[in-house]
Chain A
Amino acid sequence: MPLSELANPHRFLRLARVLIPALAVLALVLIGVGLVQGFRAPADYQQGEMVRVMYIHVPSAWIALVAYTLMAIASLGTLVWRHPLADVAAKAAAPIGAAFCLLCLVTGALWGRPMWGAYWVWDPRLTSVLVLFLLYLGVIALWRAIDDPSRAAKAAAILTLVGFINVPIVKFSVEWWTSLHQGASVFRLDGPSIHPSLLQPLLISAAGFAALFFALHLAAMRNEILRRRLRTLGILAAAEAEAR
């Protein structure tokens, strides 16, 4: 289906009604299978049982980056192509991305304490993820600070695009600077360095987190469309009351 056909909110709402429950079920199944396999997989030779945190920490981090990337693409859609659902998509993704980013920070701190001896260090990877979280909060605050949705959309889109510079910094921070955080072990030019017994549940769990994110994102987009419909109805009702 071309993206332009989704510009019609009625068509989008019909599609969302089918996709949201389907993605939610898929997420439940994949996360369930991923976690069961993850807990049955052997413990890591260095980290022992603490490696179990990987099955929630790593997918959360990936989703936090994917959500911000989606917001950046949607922001281009707002500023360049003026797609009617672009700012709806960007606004809906922000709180969900922020929640996954928070999850990444919290689970990372709980993983860091026994492995590194500290919940937090001002390491390039940790700091850039914290900046990502603050960017999410900034975008959400900007949306809430401006009443007119089209003005808010433009301001939030500019902030989102400026902040997108942080996404490659998060990804490559462990290669560009000396970091306590381990380097990439899945998306590498020479292939994953994780043993398949740990990699498979991680990928299944990540697919489940992705399905969960897209289910929540579609649901939040539907909410945003309804919020705008409510706003329009409210304005029309007020205008009619005044005319009487």
Chain B
Amino acid sequence: MDLGPHAGFIVAAYAATAIIVSALVLWVVADYRELERSIAELEARGAKRRSDR
């Protein structure tokens, strides 16, 4: 596909979108895994909330 004389700007815009959206998704997923791991670790050591007892 011929994107014309400004192809570089179009490709850069889509690349920036891919990078920013990927970073956002990775951050949310990594944060979730880290939180689950930390909670599991504390619970394994016997920590329980009053509502869970």
Chain A residues at the B interface, C-beta cutoff of 8 Å: 39, 43, 48-50, 52-53, 56-57, 60, 95-96, 99, 102-103, 106-107, 110-111, 113-114, 212, 216, 219-220, 222-223, 226-227, 229-230, 232-234, 236-237, 240
Contacts and interface: CB of A to CB of B under 8 A. Distances in A.
Nearest to B23: A99
A226 B13 CA distance: 35
Q: Which label, helix, strand, loop or mixed, suits the secondary structure of the B interface?
A: helix
Interface in B10-48: 10, 12-14, 16-17, 20-21, 23-25, 27-29, 31-32, 35-36, 38-39, 42-43, 45-48
A50 B13 CA distance: 10
Nearest to A222: B32
Contacts of A113: 9
A233 B23 CA distance: 29
Contact of A220 (B1, B4, B23, B28): B28
B13 A237 contact: no
A99 B31 contact: no
Q: Which label, helix, strand, loop or mixed, suits the secondary structure of the A interface?
A: helix
11 contacts: A50-B10, A52-B10, A103-B20, A219-B28, A220-B31, A223-B28, A223-B31, A230-B39, A233-B48, A234-B47, A240-B46
A227 B43 CA distance: 14
Contacts of A57: 13
B3 A229 contact: no
Contacts of A111: 9, 13
Given A50-B10, A53-B10, A60-B17, 13 more contacts: A43-B4, A49-B3, A52-B10, A99-B21, A102-B20, A110-B13, A219-B28, A223-B31, A223-B35, A226-B35, A232-B49, A233-B39, A236-B49
A226 B17 contact: no
Interface residues of B, number: 36
Contacts of B28: 216, 219-220, 223
A210 to B, nearest CB: 13
Contacts of A234: 42, 47
Given A111-B9, A236-B48, A240-B47, A56 B36 contact: no
Given A99-B24, A107-B16, A223-B32, A233 B10 contact: no
Given A232-B49, A236-B49, A53 B35 contact: no
Contacts of A222: 32
Given A56-B17, A57-B13, A226 B49 contact: no
B17 A107 contact: yes
A49 B39 contact: no
A230 B9 contact: no
